[in-house]
Amino acid sequence: MSRRVRAVVLVEGVVQGVGFRPFVYGLATGLGLDGLVGNDERGVFIEVEGAPSTVEEFLTTLRKSPPPLALVERISSGLVPATGEAGFVISGSATGGPRRALVSPDVATCADCLREMGDPADRRYGYAFTNCTNCGPRFTIVHGVPYDRPNTTMAAFAMCADCAREYHDPADRRFHAQPVCCPACGPRLRLLDSGGEEIAGDPVEGTARLLGRGGVLAVKGLGGYHLAALAARADAVTALRERKHREDKPFAVMVPDLDAARRLCDVDAAEEALLTSRAPPDRAAAQARRRGGGAAGGAR
Ligand SMILES: [Zn+2]
Ligand SMILES: [Zn+2]
pLDDT tens track for 201-246: 999 999 999 999 999 999 987 656 889 999 999 999 999 999 999 8
Highest mean pLDDT among 47-56, 174-183, 268-277: 47-56
Q: How far is the CA of 258 from the centre of ligand 2 (A)?
A: 32
Give the closest ligand to the alpha carbon of residue 160. Answer: 2
Q: How far is the CA of 136 from the centre of ligand 1 (A)?
A: 6
Give the closest ligand to the alpha carbon of residue 131. Answer: 1
Q: How far is the CA of 52 from the centre of ligand 2 (A)?
A: 41
Residues 6+ positions from 93 with CB-CB distance below 8 Å: 38, 39, 40, 146, 148
pLDDT at position 139 is 81
Question: Phi and psi dihedrals of 131, rounded to 5?
Answer: -155, 170
At residue 171 the predicted structure's pLDDT band, cuts being 50, 70 and 90, is confident
What's the chain's length in residues? 300
pTM above 0.85, yes or no: no
More confident residue, 300 or 92: 92
What's the CA angle centered on 267, arms 265 and 272, to 5 degrees? 140
Give the closest ligand to the alpha carbon of residue 116. Answer: 1
Give the closest ligand to the alpha carbon of residue 108. Answer: 1
pLDDT at position 289 is 42
The CA distance from 131 to 177, in Å, is 8
Question: Phi and psi dihedrals of 22, rounded to 5?
Answer: -60, -35
The CA distance from 216 to 266, in Å, is 27
CA-CA distances (angstroms) from residue 92 to 147, 160, 299?
Answer: 11, 20, 40
Share of the chain above pLDDT 70, in %: 89
Q: Is the pLDDT of residue 256 over 80?
A: yes
Q: How far is the CA of 202 from the centre of ligand 1 (A)?
A: 24
Mean confidence (pLDDT) of the chain: 86
Q: How far is the CA of 173 from the centre of ligand 1 (A)?
A: 8
Closest CA to 160 of 133, 180, 137, 138: 180
Give the closest ligand to the alpha carbon of residue 186. Answer: 2
Q: How far is the CA of 252 from the centre of ligand 2 (A)?
A: 33
State the CB neighbour count (10 A cutoff) for residue 149.
20
Cis check for the bond before 146: say yes or no (omega within 30 of 0): yes
The CA distance from 107 to 279, in Å, is 5
Q: How far is the CA of 95 from the centre of ligand 1 (A)?
A: 28
Q: How far is the CA of 107 from the centre of ligand 1 (A)?
A: 9
Q: How far is the CA of 81 from the centre of ligand 1 (A)?
A: 39
Q: How far is the CA of 26 from the centre of ligand 1 (A)?
A: 18
Please list the residues that pair with 48 across neighbouring strands. Answer: 7, 35
Cα-trace Rg, the chain: 23
